[in-house]
Amino acid sequence: DAGITQSPRYKITETGRQVTLMCHQTWSHSYMFWYRQDLGHGLRLIYYSAAADITDKGEVPDGYVVSRSKTENFPLTLESATRSQTSVYFCASSRYGGELFFGEGSRLTVL
């Protein structure tokens, strides 16, 4: 049972570059989420998706783009990375909304 996997686990990039963080879940959960975790802020929701081809903005969506062409995948793209996007990014899924199951996280550093 692979669950939910994120890649890459660690990424260093430069300001202005495009970065895509991948998220794949094997449970066929309808709902998927992207959070970022920063010291002093806890977890903040970036984007979420209730089903394939349905996405919506969360609390901090600026500078990010998502897509969900297949139920199992929910990639997060930083179109032009900025230093303020240095963070740990967590993907999560949920069958019905409510309880979330988290991936291992992707630590992104923007130089």
Partner 1 sequence: AQSVSQHNHHVILSEAASLELGCNYSYGGTVNLFWYVQYPGQHLQLLLKYFSGDPLVKGIKGFEAEFIKSKFSFNLRKPSVQWSDTAEYFCAVVSGGGADGLTFGKGTHLIIQP
- Where do contacts with partner 1 occur on this chain (CB under 8 A)? 31, 33, 35, 40-45, 48, 50, 56, 58, 90, 92, 94, 96-100, 102-105
Nearer Cβ to partner 1, position 50 or 52?
A: 50
Q: Cβ of residue 50: shortest distance to partner 1, in angstroms? A: 5
Nearer Cβ to partner 1, position 10 or 18?
A: 10
Nearer Cβ to partner 1, position 22 or 45?
A: 45
CA dist 49 and 67 (Å) reads: 9
Q: Cβ of residue 85: shortest distance to partner 1, in angstroms? A: 19
Nearer Cβ to partner 1, position 14 or 56?
A: 56
Q: Cβ of residue 99: shortest distance to partner 1, in angstroms? A: 6
**Three-state SS sequence of the chain:** CCCEEEECCEEEECCCCCEEEEEEECCCCCEEEEEEEECCCEEEEEEEEEECCEEEECCCCCCEEECCCCCCECCEEECCCCHHHCEEEEEEEECCCCCCEECCCEEEEEC
Phi and psi of 84, rounded to 5°? -70, -10
Q: Cβ of residue 104: shortest distance to partner 1, in angstroms? A: 5
